[in-house]
Structure 1
Amino acid sequence: MNSVSCYSFKNTKRVKFKAEWKGTQIVFKSPVETTPFHWYEHGKKVYPSEKQFLTALRAVVKNKLNLNIPVNTLMRTMKKNIHSRNFDVFSQEEIDSMSTLVQDNEFLVLTFFSGNDIFPRLVGTCGSYYATEYVEPIQVKSSLLALTDNVKDWIWRLQISTQILELLKKLETDFQEPIHLCDIQMEHFGTYQQDESLRYLDLNQLYSRTIINKFFRNVSCQTDEDCDFFDCRSKCSLQTKTCAHGVTNNNFQVVCEKLFLGWRRSNTVIVPGLLLSQHTPSDLAEVVRQCANPENEVGKPRKSPDGNVIKRMYELIVEIEQTFVSRTSL
């Protein structure tokens, strides 16, 4: 390993640092708090049988990702990730390591949702630590100066916006059910250096629709505001006093509201988003507002935008980008 440096620290991870290995930058992470799969009887540590352990692993994957993984596939996948040479039996050390790792939402997503070019690649594990490829977070000028950006900056904003919409489309269609990002921030998107494709980096609050719907239906409420889980929102049922409707907004609505329009207070834009600029035509501004708040709700919007609105917005962004690129090439 050529070098090691601190990357960033968050409450969602106990350790997080960046290293360079054979010319490749990787990030090491470890879950915060987990429940061990072993227990104590008369002061002696007791481990589950292999059958009990695999049953527990399957339950965790089902509860977190809504995936039914066959036992043989589960064992093969986990053994591969921990680089075990013995594929016939789990050691106590492996049980401890895997019981920690599988309780981490990000590790599970990278393990079972790999191969789609949406998330960083899982490089491997070492005990309860796991390593992912490093993807550079997107940095955007967040100030009123963005309203007077130059043409080059505006083209870049348009290009990033189309990439974000394409990634969100994959989350809607490339899995057995739509995937919801419940904590969307600009820096949670990153550019993969090898091909400059866009990846989503923070997977701690990523859930399939079934899982987030199940979460909401167990939440008691008095008002709609009680039905907020980060950026995922539901509505309060007056009959049951629970968030019985499940998640009612989607990734497109959140991105339009938070990233494309920008940070708002009392319906006034304080920090402009990607698609607010002196170059923004009125038809694009209007369709972005329709995406961000389809029903002109007061307070936080809770309605998902219509698919035709998303399609129209994407087409407009691409058309405007091509127009400005053509101008700069003259």
Structure 2
Amino acid sequence: MSLYRKLPLSRCIYRYFLLTCILPSIVILYVLFHFKFFCLSVHAKQKVDQICKSLHKKDSTGNLCLPLCVKEEINSVSCYSFKSTKRVKFKAEWKGTGIIFKSPTRITPFHWYENGKKIYPSEKQFLTALRAVVKNQLNLNLPVNTILRIMKKTIHSKDSDVLKQEEIDALSTLVQDNEFLVLSFFHGNDVFPRLIGTCGSHYATEYVEPLQVTSSLMALTDNVEEWIQRLQMAAQILELLKKLETDFQEPIHLCDIQLHHFGTHKEDESLRYMDLSKIYPKSIINRLFRNLTCQSDEDCEFYDCRSKCNRFSKTCAQGVTNNNFQVTCEKIFLGWRRSNTLIVPGLLLSEHTPSDLAAVLRHCSNPENGTGKPRRAPDANSVKRMHELIVEIEQTFVSRIIP
């Protein structure tokens, strides 16, 4: 302190440094942690503690409760990238398999209060309500006994006849998560991660490794090996999108398409789509749009799913007019544009991109060649031609580097 008394200027410099550098840094770190832009493993362990406290109070049930909280078979608990979704709570390992724990973000209680006492619906009332949720979200018209069987199987309950009170509690929360519903009722297809199980209001899916590109900016200049890798990646994406068109009762729309939402399955290296929070059958998206009022086409958008505004009825009467192929060509294959200026080149933009592929990609991205956001889906023949061209180019480049 005597030194600072002799050198008041040094004290001022010290205080200035403290106010302008250290304190803002502390504030920035607090904001990043508070809003979960990143986290520490201690946060994941705190979430496990919360789940286990609920189990010890006998408020939770599910096949993952004992392995997580009692037997401690689920280990290597750590944070998971928050780029995917805020519903992701933590990553762990169970029986040598990576799993991701998630939970719904918004919850509407299924119970109500009478004279201050919490009242729950009967099993029949609950299953009737659940049947309506499945119909409303997935357009599946299933009998109540089928709903019960699927739900009991999903939470791995051994009692096949009735739902226990704690099971109704858990499912009341879980069924309000679109991803949980999709994984429960569309589990027979190999386009989504597998649902591993539940514990209370949390569920776990198998870990799928997000697609990795050779450059974070996908530079226009890359070597032949990198170009081949991108072509193979694009072909896999198109194959997955085709399954979404043909392997379900009706086409499934991905309304939030991003490259890191695609991932490679560990066992067979096939592609999976990981973030299911905004995927819906076509009929559900059509209903959403037809219930919207609009003044212009810009009012007929639900993330990447788009429609057109009818100027007479002032509604998005056509339903969804684009599809997964159009959005993928626009956002993933060609890249991010702003005011018709390329900002970040896409997966298939490279110095190696031939002119015929570039033309096909442009048509897929904007079939009407209009201004503004494209709102028309490419026809099946255009998509088929694009897929064939990508595979053909990939094979040509492979033959050049393999003697």
Which bin holds the TM-score, normalised by the shorter protein? over 0.9
Pick from 288, 302, 308: which aligns with 2:361? 288
Moved more, 154-163 or 88-97: 88-97
Asked if 2 retains the 8 angstrom alpha-carbon contact of 1:12 and 1:32, the reply is no
2:131 to 58, 62, 74: 58
Deviation at 1:88, TM superposition (A): 2.1
Are residue 124 (structure 1) and residue 189 (structure 2) matched? no
Question: Superposed, which structure 2 residues align to 1:244-323 within 5 Å?
Answer: 244-323=317-396
**1:144-183 mapped onto 2 (5 Å cutoff):** 146-183=219-256
Structure with the larger helix share: 2
The gaps in structure 2 that reach 5 residues or longer are 1-73
The one-letter amino acid of 1:284's match is L
Amino acid aligned to 1:48: P
| TM-score when normalising by structure 2 | 0.80
Asked whether the 8 Å contact 2:84–2:275 carries over to 1, the reply is no
The question of whether the paired residues in 1 share the 8 Å contact of 2:219 and 2:345 is answered with yes
* Cα deviation, residue 12, structure 1: 5.3
Taking only the aligned residue pairs, the percentage that are identical comes to: 76
1:74–1:13 Cα change, 3 Å? farther
| Aligned equivalent of 1:31 | 104
1:148 maps to amino acid: T
Shift of 1:39: 0.9
TM-aligned CA deviation for residue 116 of structure 1: 1.1
Aligned counterpart, 2:302: 229
Give the Cα–Cα distance (whole angstroms) in 1 for the partners of residues 291 and 85 of structure 2. Answer: 23
Asked if the contact 1:5/1:19 (under 8 Å) is kept, the reply is: yes
Query: So what's the TM-score if we normalise by structure 1?
Result: 0.97
The C-alpha deviation readout for 1:94-149, integer Å capped at 9, x for no partner, is 11100111110000001111121100000001111100000011122242x62110
Shift of 1:71: 1.4
CA distance in 1, matches of 2:399, 2:81: 40
What residue is the counterpart of 2:264 in the other structure? 191
Decide whether the 8 Å contact of 1:111 with 1:122 is kept in 2.
yes
Instruction: Name the amino acid aligned to 2:192.
Output: F
Tell me which residue corresponds to 1:78. Answer: 151
Task: After superposing the two structures, state which structure 1 stretch, 290-299 or 70-79, moved more.
Answer: 70-79
| Cα distance, 1:186 vs structure 2 | 0.3
Shift of 1:13: 4.0
SS where residue 244 of structure 1 aligns? coil
Distance 1:277 1:169, change over 3 A: same
- Higher mean alpha-carbon deviation, 86-95 vs 124-133, is at 86-95
> In structure 2, how many angstroms separate the alpha carbons of the residues matched to 1:234 and 1:14?
28
Q: 118, 122, 147: which is aligned to 1:49?
A: 122
RMSD of aligned residue pairs (Cα, Å): 1.3
Distance 2:386 2:395 in 1: 14
CA drift at 1:10? 6.6
C-alpha displacement of 1:36: 1.6
After TM superposition, give the deviation of residue 68 of structure 1 in Å.
1.0
Gaps of 5+ in 1: none
Bigger Rg over Cα: 2
